[in-house]
Amino acid sequence: MALLEIKNLSKSFGDLQVLKDINIQVEKGEVIVIIGPSGSGKSTMLRCCNLLEKPTGGQIIYKGEDITGLGKKVKNYRKSVGMVFQRFNLFVNKTVLDNVTIAPIQLNKLPKAEAEAKALDLLDKVGLKSKAGVYPETLSGGQQQRVAIARALAMDPEALLFDEPTSALDPELVGDVLEVMKKLAKDGMTMLVVTHEMGFARDVADRVIFMADGYIVEEGTPDEIFTNPKNERTKAFLSRVLEK
Amino acid sequence: MNLHWARAFQQLMPSLIQGVGVVLYVTALGFIGALILALLLAIGRVSKNKILNRILIVFIEFIRGTPLLVQFFYIYYVIPMLIDGIAAVFGMEIDVQFSATFSGIVGFTINYGCYMSEVIRSAILSVDPGQREAGLALGFSETQVLFKFIIPPAVRNSIPVFGNYLVMMIKDTSLLAMISVQELLLRAKTFASQTFMTVEAYTIVALVYLILSVPLSRLAVALERHLKRARLKQKEIKG
């Protein structure tokens, strides 16, 4: 059984249909990278995966349970599937340490000392243990994003959703964040990543999905997509982004 | 014109010092009341309950559309009579009276509460929606998100404006002279009419207001700076 299954997902904003009949199966430990031109619905698709956007049709099935009809119980699902945002979204009124510990302490009832020890450990892993006591606004974008990853990891998620995690970063800060993500992938984390980083997709992904106009146009191994794309739109997109 | 500053000062000051006590007491309680009411109203206004929202809009517009002085009169004279009247319908004969000071505190709570609720409301709306999404994505409920991640930064961002309202409230306590609260203006007025030292009395009282309000507005600015600086410093973390 797939860990996460997106089944016939569709989403409309008013008359505008942005997702059409999306089907993805995510196996445990798999890293899936979703690429495609802006406006193709990638981010919306990812946001539907934890119901930050409510799907118009279709199902999101997690461990065999359809979560689209859960109502308020969706909280429990969200605890086990973390999300990393394009704009980091660290809590501005909390220190770095509190950002990482608040959910485990308040939602999982982890004792404070234990949560803090674990948080410092995670911050160490993303190279920011020394920043535990500062407020997010004093950090660079790349540092904030690594804290955001540590915050998501603190809940011991079964899977992580990344919504263009490096798009808002200065070019020289992208590398550190991608490094952390690579390490996660190697450690067996299940990841669904929307990104424009083709190098990351090629190196890390188990599967690459190309989306355009709300459809999944093509999917396959990185090799299949990058060296031998079949669809014309995939070819056109890749030739444009890889030229740069 | 003969002015007797020293004599006026000597005779008026002891009374004004008591008046300062009244002003600070009413302002302190009125402001705390206004803050609490403002927070409740703002939460109600950003809630998704449409009926509650409508009711609150009407209430806030009603309060903001009538003068504070009229509200003081209404609370001091009219509300007790209304309560008596309602009690009479149920066959009870009571004679409710509010003290002037109490009426003043309630008036400030309601009037300033309404104005300040709009400040908090717009501060809440201007908090980055990413804060809410991050909270939800971790598994917090909408209510938890509101109280943990939206309201604290919103209130913090409102502090400079609150400082202005506090200074305004100090000055507005002079309106309470009209419902016989023994604050500064009423004391000066009584003194002037008894001694005919009109110029001296009103000049001195104006200066006392100035001495009260200027440090307060400075304090608000200092508090804002302090909060900003505190966030740029590193907190001590053990481990």
Set of chain B residues whose Cβ sits within 8 Å of the Cβ of A120: 237, 239
Q: Per-residue pLDDT tens for B144-168? A: 999 999 999 999 899 889 999 999 9
Contact B234 A75 (CB under 8 A): no
Query: A-chain residues within 8 Å CB-CB of B154?
Result: none
Domain with B10, as residue range(s), is 5-238
**In the block, residue with structure tokens 């406006």:** A39
Sign of the four-CA dihedral A50, A54, A56, A57 = positive
Closest CA to B128 of A90, A144, A140: A90
> What CATH number should be reported for the domain holding residue B200?
1.10.3720.10
Chain A residues close to B152, C-beta within 8 Å: 93
Residue among B134, B153, B239 whose CB faces A117 most closely:
B239
Whether the predicted pLDDT of B60 surpasses 90: yes
Across the interface, of A75, A85, A89, the residue whose CB is closest to B139 is A75
Average pLDDT over residues A141-157: 96
Q: What is the mean pLDDT of chain B?
A: 93
**Interchain pair B239, A72: CB under 8 A:** no
As a whole number of angstroms, the distance between CA A132 and CA A147 comes to 9
Cα–Cα distance, B188 to B199 (Å, whole number): 10
And the tokens for A74? Answer: 């969706």
pLDDT over 90, % of chain A:
92
Residue B217 binned pLDDT confidence (cut-offs 50, 70, 90):
confident
Q: What is the pTM of this model?
A: 0.88
Q: How far apart are CA B123 and CA B53, in angstroms?
A: 17
For residues A16 and A8, give the distance between their C-alpha atoms in angstroms, rounded to a whole number: 17
Closest CA to B187 of B1, B4, B22: B22
Q: At A215, phi and psi to the nearest 5?
A: -110, 155
State how many domains chain B has.
Answer: 1
- Tokens of residue A126, six digits: 């993303």
For B63-103, what is each residue's pLDDT tens digit?
A: 999 999 999 999 999 999 999 999 999 988 888 999 999 99
What pLDDT, on a 0 to 100 scale, did the predictor assign at position B152? 94
> Do the chains contact at A91 and B131, CB–CB below 8 Å?
yes
* CB-CB under 8 Å, A120 with B239: yes
Neighbours of B149 (CB within 10 A): 26
Interface membership of A168 toward B (CB under 8 Å): no
How far is residue A199 CA from its own chain's centroid?
A: 17
Nearest CA in chain A to B149: A91
Tell me the torsion sign for CA atoms A63, A66, A72, A75: positive
How many Cβ atoms from other residues are within 10 Å of residue A92's Cβ?
A: 19
The complex's ipTM?
Answer: 0.94
Percent of chain B clearing pLDDT 70 (strictly above): 97
User: Is A91 close to B134, i.e. CB distance below 8 A?
Assistant: yes
